[in-house]
Amino acid sequence: MSTTAPGAGRWDGISFEERMATVDFRVGARAHITVDTDVCRSCTTKACVTACPADLFAPTADGGILFNYEECFECGTCYMVCNSEGALTWTYPDGGHGVVFHHG
């Protein structure tokens, strides 16, 4: 058992990238999440940034939000914690695409 090593997204001896590499994502061409970063600039909490278990949201220097949809668990955390109406739209990826759990 390695010891917990906080910082730089490294926990328990594996990087976040290594963690996400264990998951099967069949990435679709269409982004199933869209973010209106103009709305995000007025957001003070940016709850999506810390709560998203896939760490898909990153704050930008100008107060907006950068995101990617490719390695998404499709859990719904981001739109549930988002407190700005209209900032985030979320649908399921197209049929057959997105995350495929083999040990869920």
CA atoms within 13 Å, Cβ hemisphere of 32: 22
Q: Which residues pair with 33 in a beta bridge?
A: 90
Least CB distance to other proteins at residue 94 (A)? 6
Interface of this chain with other proteins, residues 66 to 95, rule: CB under 8 A = 73-77, 79-82, 91-95
The region of 11-19, 33-41, 60-68 touching other proteins under the rule CB under 8 A is 11-19
Locate 20 and state its tokens. 């996400």
The secondary structure of residue 57, as a DSSP letter, is: E
Euclidean distance between CA atoms 56 and 2, whole angstroms: 26
# residues near other proteins by CB under 8 A = 45
Distance, first Cα to last Cα, the chain: 23
Taking CB under 8 A as the rule, does residue 15 contact other proteins?
Answer: no
Chain residues that interact with other proteins, rule: CB under 8 A: 1, 3-4, 6, 9, 11-12, 14, 16, 18-20, 22-23, 26, 45, 47-48, 50-51, 53-55, 73-77, 79-82, 91-96, 98-104
